[in-house]
Amino acid sequence: MTHRIALGVSYNGSPYHGWQSQSCGNTVQDKLEAALAKFATQPINILCAGRTDSGVHGLMQVVHFDTPVQRTPASWVRGTNAFLPSPIAVQWAQPVPPAFHARASATARRYAYVVLQSPVRPSVDAGRVGWVFHPLDGEAMRAAAALLLGEHDFSSFRAAACQALSPIKTMHRIDITRRGPDNADHPEPGQGWSPCYWRFEFEANAFLHHMIRNIMGCLLAIGQGTQSVDWLREVLAARSRKVAAPTFSPDGLYFQGPVYDAQWGLPTRTAAYDWLP
């Protein structure tokens, strides 16, 4: 008799070539499947809620797998973590019904992007934040982000290698907040400005390949004043990747995890959520 188990997994994506298994073996999926196989003493194949690219981090990736091995949820967590490298950790484990599917059961997905606004490049947070060295206009970025809410054809923000069947997605929410001194947003003429962090949160039914990093490139261009808010309207309408800003760095991008119906009874957040600025 097989059992279906769901896991919540967090990881620092910097050392790995993305989520999806590759021949090199240096992906998050490869490391997790190897650890599970050692703990269960048999091969285990996992399916995830959403693949992440090289350098992208995960706060609560959700996977599921079927196995005849019987272990308590705590054993799946502690036993698997004993074989995982330090940048990857299982946060929770839970038995789920056979009808549950990590990807297909998700009703939405959430990402966060953290940007350091500073004249000086990141140091202790290198690889964990994006970086801009010009002050950002929060009001302009929020006005532009509002244009992306709802159902749209997001072809202008789609990578050439994207395998999604349709570019039409529904953006439920974009929140932009700042943590830092008051003069970081609109510095007074002739005065300096202080470094701060910006946090961009996105929630949609699904995302295209590089969609958030391409949106970030556009929002930051608007925030720095090199493009207008109306320019983003034109980019969206063009449905062409050629008219949008360059793809922004993966360093500050975090997969916050999928959203599931309450019927599955799965955790909705982990402690890693509160670590971000």
- Whether 251 sits among the annotated catalytic residues: the reply is no
Euclidean distance between CA atoms 82 and 237, whole angstroms: 50
Euclidean distance between CA atoms 118 and 97, whole angstroms: 48
Euclidean distance between CA atoms 18 and 70, whole angstroms: 30
Euclidean distance between CA atoms 233 and 3, whole angstroms: 48
**What single string gives the DSSP state of each residue in 132-191?**
ESS---HHHHHHHHHTT-EEEE-GGG--TT---S-SEEEEEEEEEEEES-GGGTSPPTTS
CB 172 within 8 A of CB 191: no
Catalytic residue (one of 30, 53, 66, 251): 53
- For residue 97, the Cα-to-chain-centroid distance in whole angstroms is 26
Q: b/e map of 254-277 (b: 16 or more CB within 10 Å)?
A: bbbbbbbeeeeebeeebebbeebb
Q: Which phi and psi angles does 189 have, rounded to 5°?
A: -55, 135
Strand partners, 148: none
CA angle centred on 13, ends 271 and 11, rounded to 5°: 30
Q: Point out the residues that are catalytic.
A: 53
